[in-house]
Chains A and B, each alone.
Chain A
């Protein structure tokens, strides 16, 4: 299996403030890759680096076998078209209906004709269970629906990688479980690689098949592998505490 993301000696932070030092990890094609760690350890910042919103302080990483740090703007754009992102609150454009939100990347980046785009929008909304909500504005739907609509938009271009920042934050347990299921369906049936930032234990064990644990104190990756294996043999106490909600001593 090929690696879709490969990081070597990567450091992440803001100016003098370093959050992650000299990190190496790789994400294989078809993985559900979990980035976990306590609040404020730099998970969102790492995601910002991976999606190209900010450069790493040091080191390099490649996405879909292209070096991301040294690639020029055109190549970055090409890579971005092959990735989708679901932000914490969905980040839907409030002045557009759900259909227009999903159609935006399609009309920007593809040569499909209008009726095809229309049908693709229907399909993506149907996949996330929102068929019939095409003409709703984001302010008219619930938080869980916003996330699903955001996912529909992230899936618009049939991406190879989809990033999620705390997808279950702010959702009730049922919606959260449904979102997990949906993510798994997409992962298995579209063969999309998912990179998920989360500290929701249930999700971690349900969907993750590979993971890294960012440690805020050492600023390094202190654990990696299948989360279930990590729970069985935790490499250190902090990971054990994290995976058992602090019950393990």
Chain B
């Protein structure tokens, strides 16, 4: 059975609805017709309409908008009262002009905007870093605002809780270093130097790098997510309006904790890595334990060890700053928390690599 009939008669478009007009798609051909046809009046007859839902409303809604646009008379007979009222309600408020639509931008505009954005966010990040480093170092001389429990929680989170994963990964890295080195060294019959290779490699750089990457993914991300959620819940706004310095209150405990934890974790990672190397050296390469130990101790030097710790310390600052920066500058919706977290991890790793490059260059210049 047809639920909608229409015809044009004496320049009047007559439409009749019958039966149950429920869950119907928009009649496309009908709307194509009225766009091209000529008539001065639309007459809707709903005498035989039994039941209806929103799909009838959209037809009438579209029709009445069409009529007011092209100044055509709209008449109806026996429209259900609800339909009439709802139509009135729907057309009561004039639509606002849509302003949120993206303006069309040229390529050069886009490029310029991109450059300016990068410059601005670099400046903002730089200011954030400077300010927080200042807060950090002045906290040695002046009692800061931060709550001690916050600091202890953060320390627990970046210290003991991170130990298992740090141990496992460093052990594996030591193991891999030893294996890869052994293949080459064995051709010269010098596999005993695996011990030196692993010791120097782990203490000077690999321990710190592995801990840095783990902590960026683990702790940096959690800093960004928790601060970002606080931003979404307007907790950070509340703190600011109370006059609380968020750098001291929120960032400082996290930064202090991770800056303390990083060198310790680096030391631990060095140890676990050397253990991994020994595992390969002693069990797979048949190096006597005492020999391996002797070469390890010979290769260990305070210089490499300190350089490693210095890397760890620097990475601690970088992770804290990146995590907190992206958390504090998070947007106001759920998606931006995810985005901030990703940014925090990516930027931590990028800046750690940059820092490693700079430190290596400087140390090489001054001959360490």
Which A positions have Cβ atoms within 8 angstroms of B?
A: 94-95, 110-113, 115-116, 119-120, 122-124, 126-127, 129-140, 158, 182, 185, 188-191
Query: CB-CB contacts of B43-55 with A at 8 A, as 1s and 0s?
Result: 0000000000111
Task: Show the binding face of B for A, using Cβ within 8 Å.
Answer: 23, 25-26, 28, 53-55, 57-58, 61-62, 81-83, 85-86, 89-98, 100-101, 331-335
Given the complex of chains A and B, what is the CA–CA distance between A216 and B175 in angstroms? Answer: 64
Q: Are A113 and B26 in contact (CB under 8 A)?
A: yes
Residue of A127, A129, A137, A189 near B81 (CB, 8 A) is A189
Query: For chain B, what secondary structure do more than half of its interface residues adopt (helix, strand, loop), or is it mixed?
Result: helix
Q: Cα distance A189–B332 when bound, in Å? A: 37
**Known contacts A94-B334, A126-B93, A185-B86; A140/B58 CB under 8 A:** no
Interchain pairs with CB closer than 8 A, number: 88
**Of all chain B residues, which has the CB nearest A127?**
B90
Interface contact B58-A122, CB-CB below 8 Å:
yes
Cβ-defined contact, B86 with A139, below 8 A: no
Q: Say whether, besides A132-B96, A158-B54, A185 and B85 are in contact (CB < 8 Å).
A: yes
Residues of A within 8 A of B83 (CB): 189
- CA–CA, A116 to B92, complex, Å? 22
Q: Top 6 nearest A-B pairs by Cβ distance?
A: A94-B333, A189-B82, A132-B95, A132-B96, A126-B90, A131-B95
Given A119-B26, A129-B93, A188-B82, 14 other A-B contacts at CB below 8 A?
A95-B334, A95-B335, A112-B23, A115-B25, A116-B25, A116-B58, A122-B61, A124-B54, A131-B94, A132-B96, A140-B100, A185-B89, A190-B82, A190-B86
Does the CB pair B335–A119 fall under 8 Å? no
Q: Are B101 and A135 within 8 A (Cβ)?
A: yes
Nearest-CB residue, chain A, relative to B81: A189
Contacts of B91 in A (CB 8 A): 126
Q: Are B98 and A135 in contact (CB-based, < 8 A)?
A: yes
The 26 listed contacts between A and B (C-beta, < 8 Å) are A94-B333, A94-B335, A95-B335, A116-B58, A119-B26, A119-B61, A123-B54, A124-B54, A129-B92, A131-B93, A131-B94, A131-B95, A134-B98, A135-B98, A135-B101, A136-B100, A137-B100, A140-B100, A185-B86, A188-B82, A188-B85, A189-B82, A189-B85, A189-B89, A190-B86, A191-B82
